[in-house]
Chain A
Amino acid sequence: EVQLVESGGGLVQPGGSLRLSCAASGFTFSDYDMHWVRQTRGKGLEWVSGIRTTGDTYYAASVRGRFTVSREDATSTVFLQMSSLRGDDTAVFYCTRGPPAGIWFPFDVWGRGTMVTVSS
């Protein structure tokens, strides 16, 4: 079964840092781009960051310079290091599977999400 499981969410003070992890299983992780998408309570979806199989990384303007995405193919894990966190970063963060290398495709597998709350 294809599965993504996020972890690492929690309560953090403004200005603090947090590292999210996403463990993948059921598919050849190294063959796929991976992304992070967040959703504030009762609101819409916002693409946050993506990392290609090549290691190339992409960020939304709202997080560029504060968040860093990385991947570890040996353990089928993608990470999101978040720093200088603000109140408007409070959201459920979803790990999603992008397309396999060389294919243009949207996000077909989603984790259940991990909640990040930024508050003093």
Chain B
Amino acid sequence: DIQMTQSPSTLSASIGDRVTITCRASQTIHSWLAWYQQKPGKVPYLLIYKASRLESGVPSRFSGSGSGTEFTLTISGLQPDDFATYYCQQYNNYSWTFGQGTKVEMK
């Protein structure tokens, strides 16, 4: 099974900060990586697919990059609505695995 490791587990940041979250796969997943945002009491919300493609309606301050085994999610100019937990997910070759999540909290 492919393992996904996110870092950091928790990130403290302020409004306007540039935030970067990393996700590593235990083997190559090419670009089959998604990022989700989840707020307390809410369901996960798809932000990015195929490593770097923004889902419709997602603000442009969110961006993704990477391929193979190393991926990043960047929030350029953190907004109050962005404090949440973020998960990466690989969906390569009939296999699906989530990272353990990164909580973005207010500094």
Contact = CB atoms under 8 A, between A and B. Distances in A.
A110 B55 contact: no
State which size class the interface on A falls in. 10 to 19
A108 B55 contact: yes
Nearest to B101: A44
Given A105-B49, A108-B55, A45 B44 contact: yes
B101 A45 contact: yes
Contacts of A112: 43
A50 B99 CA distance: 18
State which size class the interface on B falls in. 20 to 34
Interface string B68-104: 0000000000000000000101010011111111000
B98 A46 contact: yes
B87 A104 contact: no
Interface string A98-120: 00000011111011110000000
Given A107-B89, A110-B43, A110-B44, 8 more contacts: A35-B96, A44-B101, A45-B44, A46-B98, A47-B89, A47-B97, A47-B98, A105-B91
Interface of A: 35, 37, 44-47, 50, 58, 61, 94, 104-108, 110-113
Q: Which 5 A-B pairs have the closest CB atoms?
A: A106-B34, A110-B43, A47-B96, A45-B98, A44-B101
Interface of B: 1, 32, 34, 36, 38, 43-46, 49, 55, 87, 89, 91, 94-101
